[in-house]
Structure 1
Amino acid sequence: MTHSTPLSPAGDRHFDGLAEKFAGSLYGGPRGALRLALLDELLPAMLDLDGQPMLDVGGGLGQLSAWFAGRGHTVTLLEPAGEMLERARVDLVEWPVTFVEAPLQALPERAPGPWPLIACHAVLEWLSDPRAALATLAGALAPHGQLSLMVFNRDALRMSNVVKGNLQKALDDRLEGTGKRQRLTPISPLCHEQIATWSRDCGLSVRSVAGIRVFHDYLRHPPTSEADWQRLVALERRYCQAEPHWRLGRYLLYTLVRAEGSSEEAPR
C-alpha cells in the first residue's frame, strides 16, 4: 500500500512520518553528505558569524541547528512536523537549542524576533506560497540582519529531467510534485530570478549566492572509489560559486541582507 502524506490546510507539504526517510536515504547518503560538506565550507564564507542568536526555520532533524550551536550560537529551531522535532530534541539535547513546533507562517507569533540571523534551508519549495513566506522571513529580520536561504532550483530540476530522458515533461514545464506521495519532488521549485525579484520587493539585498551539488546529480555513474569521491568534492567546491556552474546547482544558497528601515510588510 502506498503511503501518502497529506498537505497542510494551507496547501504546504510537511513531513510527518518521514523522519526515517530523511535520516537514512537523504542525510545518510552521498547527496546529503555532499550537501553538508559544502555548507560547512560555504556558510562561514557567506555569513558574518559572531555567535549571534539565530533562528532555524523548518529545521527538520536539526543538522543545521547543530552546526550553528556548535559554533557558539544560541539557536531556536522552528519545525511543523512533530516527529522531526522530537528526533531533533533527542539528538541536540547537549546543545543550546530551543524547540518550537510551528510552521513558517506562525513565525510572527511564535518566534517574532527581530533576529540578527535566520536560516531557512530547503523549505520554501514545499510551500504553496513561497513569495509570502520570504516576506515573512524578511519581516522577522533585524536591520542589517542576515538570512541564509537555500531553495530547490527549478532550472536544475528541468536539466535533471532532460538528462533522464523526460523530454516532453521538460518541454511542458511540468516540473512540480504533487506533495501527496513519498517521492520528494518539491511542489514549488524556484528559480534564481524569482528569488532576486522577491528579495528586492521585501527590502532584502542578495549579498552572495552559491550552487549546491552542481555536478553530482547529473552523473551517469556515481563515484565508486574514495579517490573519485574526493575529486567530485573538489570540483563541487571549485565551481559552486563560479559562472555559469552555480546556476545548475540542485539547490541555490543565498545570503540575503535586510537594509535598515526596509518595510516589514508582505508584498501584495
Structure 2
Amino acid sequence: MTDSTPLSPAGDRHFDGLVEKFAGSLYGGPRGALRLAMLDELLPAMLQLDGQPLLDVGGGLGQLSAWFARRGHPVTLLEPAGDMLDQAREALGGLPVSFVQAPLQALPERAPGPWSLIACHAVLEWLSDPRAAFATLADGLAPGGQLSLMVFNRDALRMSNVVKGNLQKALDDRLEGTGRRQRLTPISPLCHERIVAWSQECGLSIHSVAGIRIFHDYLRQPPANEDDWQRLVALERRYCQAEPHWRLGRYLLYTLVKEGEQSCRENRR
C-alpha cells in the first residue's frame, strides 16, 4: 500500500501528509522518546555551543530546533514539506526560530550562510544522492564550523533484518526502501565508512560519533515497566560511544568540523 506522498522530481522522499504519523507513532512513542533523550545528553557533550545561529536542515516538526532555541540559539528551520513546517511554526511560537520552505539542495540559495553551526538529522537517508547533499552541507559551513549530522545506519538495518529472520534479504543486501510505503524504510541508508570517505573529500574532520538506539531496536520485548525503561536508557547512555556497540545504533550521530575554506566540490573534481 502506498501513501499520498510521491518522490520529488529529484527522487527524494519528502514527508507531506505525514504529520500525524511523525507526531504520534514516531516521536510520540518509545523510539522517538529514546532518541530525544539521547540527544539531550549527547548534543552538549559533542558540540561546542555558545549561542551561535543554527541552521536546522530538514527540521520537520521542529523538535531539534526547539532544543537549540530554548538554549539561546537563533534558529533557521529549513524544511520542504509545507504541513510539517506549519506544525513546527505553531509548536515553536515565541521561540527565536525563522522558517524556510525548501529542500536541502536549495540551501545555497535560500540559506547560504556560511554557518558556524548546522544540524542535519535523519535527512540524508531519504535523498537519492546523499553524497551530493553532504557536499552541500559542507560548503554551507564556515571555516571551523560544526555539522551535527545524524544518519540512518545501514549496518544496523542489516542486523535488524537478520534478527527478524529476513536472512535472504540480508544476504542479498536488499536493504533500501522504495520511499513509497508507510513503513518508511530509508531509500539511502548509510554506513560509517561512507561518512568517513565523504568527510575526507569535503575537508571535514570527525570530532566525535555516537550510536542512537544501540540496544532498543533489538529487544525481543519492550521494557515492561518504568524501572526497565530507565535501565534501558542507562545502558544506551553508557555504551553509545563505546566500541563495538555504537556501530549498531539505529542512527549514527556525528560532530564534523570544517578544516579550511576550500569548497567540497573543488575537492571532488
TM-score (norm 1): 0.98
In structure 1, the partner of 2:224 is 224
2:80 matched residue in structure 1: 80
Matched letter for residue 218 of structure 1: Y
Contact 1:5 1:181 in 2 (8 A): no
Q: Distance in 1 between matches of 2:85 and 2:169?
A: 36
Residue pair 1:4, 1:182 contacting (<8 A) in 2 also:
no
Cα distance in 1 between the residues matched to 2:205 and 2:177 = 29
Q: CA deviation at 1:261?
A: 2.4
2:9 alignment counterpart: 9
After TM superposition, give the deviation of residue 180 of structure 1 in Å: 1.1
Q: 1:192 is matched by which residue type in structure 2? A: H
Tell me if structure 2 keeps the 8 A contact 1:153–1:190: yes
Structure 1 counterpart of 2:190: 190
**Distance (whole Å) between structure 1 residues aligned to residue 49 and residue 123 of structure 2:** 22
Distance 1:5 1:82 in 2: 12
Shift of 1:260: 2.3
Deviation at 1:5, TM superposition (A): 1.9
Structural mapping, 1:99-248, within 5 Å: 99-248=99-248
Unaligned runs of 5+ in 2: none
Instruction: Work out whether residues 4 and 181 of structure 1, in 8 Å CA contact, stay in contact via their aligned partners in 2.
Output: no
Distance between the aligned counterparts of 2:225 and 2:180, measured in 1?
A: 37
Q: Shift in Å at residue 263 of structure 1?
A: 2.3
Distance of 2:238 and 2:83 partners within structure 1: 37
Cα distance in 1, alignment partners of residues 125 and 263 from structure 2: 24
Q: CA deviation at 1:181?
A: 1.5
The separation in 1 between residues aligned to 2:108 and 2:6, in whole angstroms, is 25
Structure 2 distance, partners of 1:245, 1:4, is 37
Partner of 1:49: 49
Matched residues in 2 for 1:168 and 1:3: separation? 27
Per-residue CA deviations over 1:67-115 (Å, capped at 9, x if unaligned) read 0000000000000000000000000011000000000000000000000
Q: What residue identity is the alignment partner of 1:183? A: R
Q: TM-score normalised to the size of structure 2?
A: 0.98
Corresponding letter in the other structure for 1:117: L
Q: Which runs of 5+ in 1 are unaligned?
A: none
- Residues 211, 240 of structure 1: 8 Å contact kept: yes
Q: Could you say what secondary structure the match of 1:35 adopts?
A: helix
**Deviation string, structure 1 residues 208-256 (Cα, Å, up to 9, x no partner):** 0000000000000000110000000000000000000000000000000
Q: Does 1:26 align with 2:26?
A: yes
Tell me the SS of whatever aligns to 1:56.
strand
CA distance in 2, matches of 1:184, 1:261: 37
Report the Cα distance in structure 1 between the residues aligned to 2:219 and 2:226, rounded to whole angstroms: 16
Q: Which amino acid aligns with 1:141?
A: L
Q: CA deviation at 1:4?
A: 3.9
Counterpart of 1:69, as a letter, is A
Cα deviation for residue 182 of structure 1 reads 1.6
> What is the aligned-residue RMSD (CA, Å)?
0.9
- The residue that corresponds to 2:94 in the other structure is 94
> % of aligned pairs identical?
84
Deviations 1:20-78 (A, max 9, x none): 10000000000000000000000000000000001000000000000000000000000
Query: Structure 1: how far apart are the matches of 2:157 and 2:182?
Result: 18
Number of aligned pairs?
A: 268
**What is the distance in 2 between the residues matched to 1:262 and 1:66?**
32
